[in-house]
Amino acid sequence: MIERYTLPEMGAIWTEESRMRAWLDVEIAAVKAWHKLGKVPGEAVAEIEARADFDVARVAEIEATTNHDVIAFLTNVAEYVGESSKYVHYGMTSSDMLDTGLALQLQRAGLLLERDLVALGEVLKRRAFEFKDTVQVGRTHGIHAEPITFGMKLGMWAFEVSRHLKRMRMVTVNASVGKLSGAVGAYNNIDPRVEDLVCEELGLGREPISNQVVQRDRHAAFLSCIAIVGASLEKFATEVRHLQRTEVREAEEAFGKGQKGSSAMPHKRNPILSERMAGCARVLRGNAMVGMENVALWHERDISHSSAERIVIPDSCILLDYMLQKSTRLFDTLVVDDERMLANLGQSYRLVFSGAVLLALVDKGMLRDDAYRVVQDSAMHAWREGVDFGLLIKQNAEAMAVMTPADVDAAMDPAQYTAGRDVIFGRLKDLEF
């Protein structure tokens, strides 16, 4: 991932140094496991633990000749260790080290993403209660529908983030799986107990039956979860982008001192973070597709997945970490204009109460089809003429034959929505991250 979208803590997990450090952790754990099984003498274990190391530049230099990164790495480790290096990688194949090392990286990355999701969820929940009573028009198809509160919208997103947190925990556990079963996974040259001991020491799960690799459905699920989280962030951002439009202007991204919105138009205050989230989400979806393509490998394995994974797994983790942290900041500082929300609600001449009036007419004995016709006729008149919908209902002879003006006022009282709001925020109160 380019430096622009790489935050330090997540970026550090995916450096070449960290990748090879995970490899070395696997190799040392395997040596210790063999020692417990009586294969490696204690002095060799001590020597390996004390001296085993690598140099990324030296590994690259060796790989230029070997054209094999694992062999280059092991050769460099042997240069540090000396004679006892004969016990390093004993009975293993490259993927034993590669996939188990990758599992360590995925585990660490998943924990950071979980932390990011918790932070975003907590901000959304807090701000949802802040705007619990901030009335806003609800829109369907971009058209005024019925009143909601802005807090309801944020609370709905908080629940969505909580679902993502559960998914992320699950896919991280499922992807944090090692294998030390040797070539083709049949334990032909390695004791199955080594695999158990290594995975236990490293805090990883174990692939119950592998071929030469950990099965890639695990990684596909991890990348898919990341993409789904990104899709939600895009959804949240798309709403902000709409609300910041000049014609709407109900909420906007915070605009910092010294910030500039346009090189040509000094007045501009653009939803740049939200637009950036929308663009980044597209990358995550593409990477998830690569993860699915990597599931089908030839026979016991090929390495068509390897080159793609080197790109999409680090990039997806780094990019989602960036997106989550930026989204948390966006919603923590989001500027909300409650007066503009009320003004926009008034633009539709109280048509948002058409459903309530429809039900009031039905409750007074009118057939639903007749009630619908009466309400729709008055509603269309309100749109065409710019007249208050409630006034038109009171002037409608059919409506007034079964209702009184007081009945109309009661049906159009915004307080009728309070009960549902209390239920919604009662549920949100119990949400924990």
What sign does the CA torsion over 73, 75, 81, 85 have? Answer: positive
What is the tens place of the pLDDT at every residue in 219-270?
A: 999 999 999 999 999 999 999 999 999 999 999 998 777 776 656 677 768 8
Question: Which are the contacts of 128, defined by CB distance < 8 A and separation ≥ 6?
Answer: 151, 152, 153, 154, 155, 158, 425, 428
Give the architecture-level CATH label for domain 349-427: Orthogonal Bundle (1.10)
Q: Which of 108, 110, 106 is nearest to 178 (CA)?
A: 106
Task: Write the single-letter amino acid at 197.
Answer: L
Give the tens place of pLDDT for each residue, 75-130: 999 999 999 999 999 999 999 999 999 999 999 999 999 999 999 999 999 999 99
Instruction: Select which of 85, 210, 262, 267 is catalytic.
Output: 262
**Given this chain, do its domains 93-342 and 349-427 carry the same CATH topology?**
no
Give the model's pLDDT for residue 384: 94
User: What is the b/e burial string over 299-331, where b = at least 16 CB atoms within 10 angstroms of the residue's CB?
Assistant: eebeeebbeebeebbbbbbbbbbbbbbbbbbbb
- pLDDT tens for 277-309 read 999 999 999 999 999 999 999 999 999 999 999
Q: How is residue 209 written in tokens? A: 């039956």
Residue 141 bears catalytic tag = yes
From 141, 263, 299, 307, the catalytic residue:
141
Strand partners, 252: 335
Mean pLDDT of the 12-32 span: 98
Cα 87 to Cα 147: distance, rounded to the nearest angstrom:
71
Q: How many Å from the N-terminal Cα to the C-terminal Cα in the chain?
A: 29
Q: Is 262 a catalytic residue?
A: yes
Give domain limits for the chain: 93-342, 349-427
Please give the CATH topology (third level) of the domain spanning 93-342.
Fumarase C; Chain A, domain 2 (1.20.200)
What integer best gives the mean pLDDT of the chain? 95
pLDDT for position 266: 72
Predicted pLDDT of residue 157: 98
